[in-house]
Structure 1
Amino acid sequence: MNSHLEKVWRAIRPERLRKTFLELLDIYSPSGKEEDIQLYLEEYLSRAGFAVERLAVEEDRYNLRATMGKAEPQLYLVGHVDTVPAWDLEALGPQEENGVIRGLGSADMKGGCAAMVEAWLALSEALNQSELPPVGLLLVVGEEEDGDGSAAFLESCRPPWVVIGEPTGLAACFAHYGYLEAGFVTRGHRIHSSLPELGHNAVESMLRVLLHLGNDSLFNRETSEIVYSIREMSSSRAGFVVPDRCEAWIDLHLPPNKDPADLQEAIRRIVAGADRFIPGLDLQVTFDFASSGYNLETDNRLNQILREIYPQMGLELRLDAFRSHSDGNLFFAAGAKPLILGPGSLETAHTPNEQVILDELSAAARIYAALCLGTRGGG
């Protein structure tokens, strides 16, 4: 093992990491309300001796950045501090049992943030100033909404590599799915609900549109590569009447080699013929957000490092494509190379059972430290 890496790994303190993780989980930080957690992280890193820079996103919202080494950072550890809204504010705090910690944002992605901070501390404690690698730590806001934190950072800085700690179960994702958000609105004719035959029910129209779309082979879950999920559906609420408007949103994740524009056209083509089966259909389709996937392949320095260190840690290196949307899409579009790798799994993210295994958290810190050291050319 490289002597520098050995020193840094010895400096990683699992109990300190656990404490940091629990404190992050104790701070409620849904998208748009991240200031409390950023204040905590800013004080924590400043107290440890780091110069922490605030990067404004909008009023009262900012990213945090720290750097080390003498040269411009060749790699940034990137974590988002925001979460989806809480399921139950009364049961918000973390719960620990048998080496597993549960809590809102534990996997997505306060576990990754805590492991990155611990790797950062270990690097600074174990190495002399001249030995520090040229790397950055970036803690961003807004990932769960529109990625405005990362977008603001990319306006002035585009590093060669970033490592984003989204939950992958420590699989290395050099490839990333694309994402498309599709909106559907059906309109009908409002009438008293005791006389539905005199109106036109927008909800019934929407249900038939969604069934028509889902019956197409493009969305066959057994054979298609497209990941298709109806995220929400709502109708006009006006008392005891036939609804005259219904809105639905669909999340679509597509493999790295698929163009979201082609999928848009396919959806438009499918629903264009729906009026043959749905009398009186009044349908509007919009695509408010689209992001292409990517595939970096694996012939690169970061994958070489992972192939060397995983056996040393007693882990099997798994390569995968990240199936969800993340800030990785933004970084790639801006010219950076994003590796998605972090503790926890997508299976529990955004659910009441969200969790991270503590041993996986410590392993993530060691992996992040090794990747940072790799920017020194293996020294």
Structure 2
Amino acid sequence: MIARLDEVWRAIDPVRLRRTLLDMLDIYSPSGKEEDIQLYLEDLLSRSGFRVERQEVEHERYNLRVTMGSREPELYLVGHVDTVPAWDLEEFEAHEEGNLIRGLGSADMKGGCAAMVEAWLALTDALKPEERPSLGLLLVVGEEENGDGSAVFLERYRPPWVVIGEPTGLAACFAHYGYLEAGFVTRGLRSHSSLPELGNNAVESMLRLLLHLGKAQLFDRERGEIVYSIRELSSSRAGFVVPDRCEAWIDLHLPPDMDPAVLQESIRSIATDAGRFIPELNMELSFDFSAPGYDLGNDSRPVRLVEEIYARLGRTPDLSAFRSHSDGNLFHAAGTCPIILGPGFLENAHTPDEQVLFHEVAEAARIYAALGLGMG
């Protein structure tokens, strides 16, 4: 078993961890406005005696990077501090219900970030400088938008492994779905709303197009492997008229071994075929963003280390694939092996009911500390 692990686990302070998490939840940090929470975390880490490096992404936006140990880390703990925006802050504000902590970003992923910071502080408290593992901690901005924080880090550093604390319910995901964003525009002919027969309704064309796509075997939700969601649907607004433009965006999550380029061509073929069934269909299709998935396999030193740690905790490791998009795709494309592992669950992330169980956050801190010791 990993040397000194019991001492480090004893140094994990649940009171300090809870305070860190609640403080982070009280700081509103949507993508693009992360400076306040980075100032808080920079001060917290600096007080532990480390020099915290700022990696500038753009004006008033920066990552925080800190390392311990005597050599370049083989492993970085990586968390993103940004959240999706809240249209009603009161609806998303932090509050406690016993072991349950609710609030914007509690699962995605301030719970994971707080656990990583606590693991870092526990390693610092329990071990002398010469005993500490070679480990990195990276707190990035911009994950909920385009991953610009991680992209800046990867311009200079390419660690062999990272652990990203996205919400997985503490499953250790060594595989990751790919992602594809598809945009559709239908165009019609505007006419007065009382005379629809004189126009061509772009919304009706879009609805028929989406139904046609949904009937394709590729998108069979019961038997297919692709996870898709119609994210946005909007039309031209010009008063009491038949709309002449409609736009839709679809998120598609692909199994790790599926090539996004192949899926693009399949979608183009299905959408083009819709013209046989939809009168006067005038359609544009674009793919603004794609990222391939990956599968790191189940035969590596980190896999065996995870199995050892989970056995020590009395847990059965779940090595399933992560279904959402994350900075993991970006790290893998740069040659780094990313493990996705964190407290909380995806199903309530980005919703007013976002929540995380505090005991899961504390367990994540123990796992991160053990991985740091074992890999460092």
Moved over 6 A (4+): none
Which residue of structure 2 lines up, in the alignment, with residue 21 of structure 1? 21
2:321 alignment partner, SS class: strand
Q: What is the one-letter code of the residue matched to 2:352?
A: P
Which residue of structure 1 lines up, in the alignment, with residue 239 of structure 2? 239
Shift of 1:90: 2.2
Structure 2 matches for 1:1-379, cutoff 5 A? 1-376=1-376
2:192 alignment partner, SS class: coil
Between the aligned partners of 1:279 and 1:165, the Cα distance in structure 2 is: 48
Kept after mapping to 2: 8 A contact 1:87/1:352: no
Q: What is the one-letter code of the residue matched to 1:311?
A: A
CA deviation string 1:4-28 (max 9, x = no partner): 1111101000111011000000011
CA deviation string 1:43-64 (max 9, x = no partner): 1111222211100111111101
1:273 alignment partner, SS class: helix
Between the aligned partners of 1:63 and 1:132, the Cα distance in structure 2 is: 23
Between the aligned partners of 2:29 and 2:81, the Cα distance in structure 1 is: 7
Between the aligned partners of 1:130 and 1:319, the Cα distance in structure 2 is: 33
Q: What is the one-letter code of the residue matched to 1:197?
A: E
CA deviation string 1:74-96 (max 9, x = no partner): 11000000001114212332111
2:191 alignment partner, SS class: coil
Between the aligned partners of 2:8 and 2:36, the Cα distance in structure 1 is: 30
Between the aligned partners of 1:135 and 1:311, the Cα distance in structure 2 is: 23
Kept after mapping to 2: 8 A contact 1:26/1:92: no
Between the aligned partners of 2:91 and 2:189, the Cα distance in structure 1 is: 43
Between the aligned partners of 2:206 and 2:71, the Cα distance in structure 1 is: 56
Between the aligned partners of 2:166 and 2:2, the Cα distance in structure 1 is: 27
> After the TM superposition, which of the residue ranges 160-169 and 1-10 deviates more from structure 2?
1-10
Q: What is the one-letter code of the residue matched to 1:148?
A: D
Kept after mapping to 2: 8 A contact 1:186/1:284: yes
CA deviation string 1:107-166 (max 9, x = no partner): 000000000000000011111111111111000000001111101111111110000000
Between the aligned partners of 2:187 and 2:327, the Cα distance in structure 1 is: 35
Structure 1: unaligned runs, 5 residues or longer: none
Between the aligned partners of 2:151 and 2:314, the Cα distance in structure 1 is: 37
Q: What is the one-letter code of the residue matched to 1:202?
A: A
Q: What is the one-letter code of the residue matched to 2:51?
A: A
Structure 2: unaligned runs, 5 residues or longer: none
Shift of 1:352: 1.1
Between the aligned partners of 1:362 and 1:302, the Cα distance in structure 2 is: 21
1:194 alignment partner, SS class: coil
Between the aligned partners of 1:308 and 1:156, the Cα distance in structure 2 is: 32
Between the aligned partners of 1:203 and 1:35, the Cα distance in structure 2 is: 41
> After the TM superposition, which of the residue ranges 124-133 and 225-234 deviates more from structure 2?
124-133
2:7 alignment partner, SS class: helix
Kept after mapping to 2: 8 A contact 1:77/1:162: yes
Between the aligned partners of 1:20 and 1:324, the Cα distance in structure 2 is: 26
Q: What is the one-letter code of the residue matched to 2:239?
A: G
2:242 alignment partner, SS class: coil
CA deviation string 1:296-349 (max 9, x = no partner): 002112111111121221222111100000000000000000000000011111
Q: Superposition RMSD on alpha carbons, in Å?
A: 0.9
Q: What is the one-letter code of the residue matched to 2:347?
A: E
Between the aligned partners of 1:175 and 1:90, the Cα distance in structure 2 is: 36
The TM-score with structure 2 as length reference comes to 0.98
Q: What is the one-letter code of the residue matched to 1:40?
A: Y
Kept after mapping to 1: 8 A contact 2:48/2:124: no
Between the aligned partners of 2:311 and 2:374, the Cα distance in structure 1 is: 17
Q: What is the one-letter code of the residue matched to 1:277?
A: F
1:173 alignment partner, SS class: coil
Between the aligned partners of 1:321 and 1:91, the Cα distance in structure 2 is: 31
Kept after mapping to 1: 8 A contact 2:99/2:359: yes
Kept after mapping to 1: 8 A contact 2:2/2:374: no
Between the aligned partners of 1:273 and 1:91, the Cα distance in structure 2 is: 44
Between the aligned partners of 1:375 and 1:311, the Cα distance in structure 2 is: 17
1:118 alignment partner, SS class: helix
